[in-house]
């Protein structure tokens, strides 16, 4: 019975249990967080709950959404909200940090959260991959969910921008007072003496 449930086409024509775009969205969002950590600028929530707890939180969230993406249509509302949150997070980055316009008019980050301009050529594609995958997932894979769910997540953009800047300022202060705690790029983040 469970096998037929996972292969039966869902409302969007996509077999239930197979949501590759939703999975790509959540994996690329996790990749964005891992990129920030690997680059030495911490990760979301690290300044509040600590780096290990933040890593655990993001691992649980990623695993939870990936697990839900293999379920039937009843998971669509959760997955639509997760995809909408991903689009909101990407939008907050692109709207909240210094950017220039590309030839086609898209924002291209010049710096973000202390990563520095030299890493933007890698960081921007990760963000765009998440955003595009999220939009396509909502259109193709989460069709049984109410449309207001992902749209409502866009209302989080101003709060996410404010949180990103608040946390970045907090991490800069931590880099100055406890330079070994979290950051390998502390010279870039810590104010000059």
Summarised one tens digit per residue, pLDDT across range 56-67 is: 999 999 999 999
Dist. CA 79–CA 178, nearest whole Å: 39
Short-list 27, 31, 33, 6, CA closest to 133: 27
d(CA 85, CA 70): 19
Task: Give which of 166, 172, 133 is closest to 24, Cα–Cα.
Answer: 133
Higher pLDDT, 102 or 145: 102
Q: What three-state secondary structure class fits 105?
A: coil
Residue 68 belongs to domain spanning: 2-189
What's the domain count of the chain?
Answer: 1
pTM of the model: 0.83
CA pair distance 136, 83, nearest whole angstrom: 9
Average pLDDT score over the chain: 84
């Amino acid at each position: 019975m469970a096998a037929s449930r996972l292969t039966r086409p869902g409302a969007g024509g996509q077999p239930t249990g197979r949501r590759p775009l939703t999975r790509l969205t959540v994996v690329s969002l996790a990749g964005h967080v891992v990129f920030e950590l690997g680059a030495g600028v911490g990760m979301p929530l690290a300044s509040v709950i600590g780096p290990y707890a933040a890593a655990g939180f993001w691992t649980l969230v990623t695993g939870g959404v990936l697990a839900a993406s293999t379920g039937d249509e009843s998971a669509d509302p959760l997955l639509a909200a997760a995809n909408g949150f991903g689009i909101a997070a990407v939008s907050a980055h692109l709207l909240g940090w210094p950017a220039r316009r590309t030839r086609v008019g898209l924002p291209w980050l010049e710096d973000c959260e202390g990563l520095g301009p030299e890493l933007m050529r890698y960081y921007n594609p990760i963000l765009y991959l998440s955003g595009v995958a999220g939009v396509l997932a909502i259109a193709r894979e989460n069709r049984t969910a109410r449309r207001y769910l992902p749209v409502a997540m866009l209302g989080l953009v101003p709060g996410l921008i404010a949180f990103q800047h608040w946390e970045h300022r907090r991490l800069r202060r931590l880099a100055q007072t406890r330079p070994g705690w979290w950051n390998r790029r502390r010279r870039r983040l810590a104010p000059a003496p």
